[in-house]
């Protein structure tokens, strides 16, 4: 057997990726994220001669067909690169709700990519692992790195084998902030992000507006981050999330619930009371509230008391994916 265990964290995109090029899983817009400590995925991969097919267990239960197919696709890429013939057992667990817009695919595929590459004995550097993770879920490319991370838009007409990896652009302490993840449901989301962005690009009257606006917001956000300007970063992050969702909603892709709107209203009330606090929303109903460390406990209490918020997870800029253990090859 050869096995490795990797851990990875989700990331929240401050400037959002939403939309792909026509070929492969290549982003049509650049994105900038912060990797979140406080939420963790742990994944074990074991290549084992005794297995006749790949086994994928997610949070203690067999993965559904879709999740299994995506994991097998990644394992196949690794097997081809390593000349590995054995099937693998994958065991992955999250300490937060899976597939509900808390970016479980980002941490999940980042951890799977790193564990699979190392279990197969490949000595790929982290950018190469990031490119591998991107082929399963583009946001996962960013979770290989800690702190503030950027993923460029791909060439307009990419080739399937083009390498596109994320990169770290600033350390975790570049901008002190906390992300309060306001969890509004524990259940899985109805529309995954791959399908949601495909529908947006195909049907939204505002898809072109989003594709034009996203790089502009991204460039301004990048500058604000380098200037260590929390308020500008927060405002631009909220604008990116709202513009992304506006384009999606116009195509009927609606991730928000009443609780999402209640949290957005609470954020606005806090801003009216001069507390600098901003919201970001991914492909799900939860709201990630960006707050300065000194305001965190007061804002946490307000969010916790907001209708529809089931719990609030505090997270902060953290580390990229890393290996917990690698064993083998022993057979």
Nearer to ligand DP6, 243 or 299 (CB): 243
Smallest separation (angstroms) from ligand DP6 to the CB of 46: 25
Give the C-alpha separation, 36 to 178, whole Å.
9
Nearer to ligand DP6, 17 or 230 (CB): 17
* Token pair listed for 317: 């800029």
- Name the residue nearer to ligand DP6 (CB basis): 5 or 154: 154
Closer to ligand DP6 at the Cβ: 47 or 278?
A: 278
Helix, strand, or coil here: 188? coil
Smallest separation, CB 28 to ligand DP6 (Å): 11
Whether the Cβ atoms of residue 295 and residue 303 lie closer than 8 Å to each other: no
In the complex with ligand DP6, the residue whose CB is nearer, 64 or 293, is 64
Alpha-carbon gap, residue 272 to 123, rounded angstroms: 52
Q: What's the chain's length in residues? A: 331
Of 78 and 99, which has the nearer Cβ to ligand DP6? 99
Question: Which one, 93 or 194, has the nearer CB to ligand DP6?
Answer: 194
Q: How far is the CB of 283 from ligand DP6 (least distance, A)?
A: 5
Distance of closest approach, residue 194 Cβ to ligand DP6, in angstroms = 3
Provide, rounded to whole angstroms, the least separation between the CB of residue 239 and ligand DP6: 14
Q: What distance in Å separates the CA atoms of residue 258 and residue 315, rounded to the nearest whole number?
A: 24
What residues line the site for ligand DP6 (CB under 6 A)?
13, 16-18, 25, 31, 103, 105, 137-139, 193-194, 282-283
Q: Which two tokens stand for residue 275?
A: 């507390």
Q: Which residues of 148-172 are buried (b: 16+ CB within 10 A; e: fewer)?
A: bbbbbbbeeebeeeeebbbebebeb
Smallest separation, CB 309 to ligand DP6 (Å): 20
The DSSP line for 74-129 is: HHHHHHHHHT--SEEEEEEEESS-TTSSS-HHHHHHHHHHHHHHHHTT----HHHH
- In the bound complex, what is the minimum distance in angstroms from residue 13's beta carbon to ligand DP6? 3
Q: Where are the beta strands (DSSP E) in the chain?
A: 2-8, 11-15, 31-37, 41-48, 55-58, 61-62, 87-94, 148-151, 167-170, 178-183, 277-280, 287-291, 311-317, 322-327
């Amino acid at each position: 057997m050869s096995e490795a265990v990797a851990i990875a964290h989700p990331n929240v995109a401050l400037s959002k990726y939403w939309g792909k090029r026509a070929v492969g899983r290549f982003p049509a817009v650049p994105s900038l994220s912060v990797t979140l400590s406080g939420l963790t995925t742990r994944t074990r991969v074991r290549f084992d001669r005794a297995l006749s097919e790949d086994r994928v267990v997610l949070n203690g239960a067999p993965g559904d067909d879709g999740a299994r197919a995506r994991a097998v696709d990644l394992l196949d890429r690794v097997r081809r690169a390593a000349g590995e013939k054995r099937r693998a057992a994958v065991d992955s667990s999250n300490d937060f709700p899976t597939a509900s817009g808390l970016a479980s695919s980002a941490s999940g595929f980042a951890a799977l990519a790193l564990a699979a590459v190392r279990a197969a004995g490949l000595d790929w550097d982290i950018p190469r692992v990031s490119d591998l993770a991107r082929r399963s879920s583009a946001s996962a490319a960013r979770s290989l790195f800690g702190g503030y991370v950027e993923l460029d838009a791909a060439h307009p007409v990419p080739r399937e084998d083009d390498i596109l990896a994320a990169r770290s652009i600033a350390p975790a302490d570049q901008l002190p902030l906390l992300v309060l993840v306001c969890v509004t449901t524990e259940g899985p989301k109805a529309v995954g992000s791959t399908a949601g962005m495909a529908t947006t690009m195909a049907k939204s009257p505002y898809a072109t507006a989003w594709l034009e606006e996203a790089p502009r917001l991204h460039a301004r956000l990048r500058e604000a981050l380098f200037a260590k300007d929390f308020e500008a970063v927060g405002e631009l992050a909220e604008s990116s999330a709202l513009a992304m969702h506006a384009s999606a909603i116009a195509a009927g892709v609606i991730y928000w619930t009443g609780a999402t709107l209640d949290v957005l209203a609470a954020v606005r009330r806090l801003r009216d009371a001069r507390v600098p606090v901003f919201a970001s929303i991914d492909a799900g109903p939860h709201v990630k509230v960006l707050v300065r460390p000194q305001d965190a406990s007061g804002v946490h209490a307000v969010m916790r008391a907001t209708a529809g918020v089931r719990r609030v997870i505090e997270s902060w800029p953290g580390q990229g994916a890393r290996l917990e253990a690698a064993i083998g090859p022993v057979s």
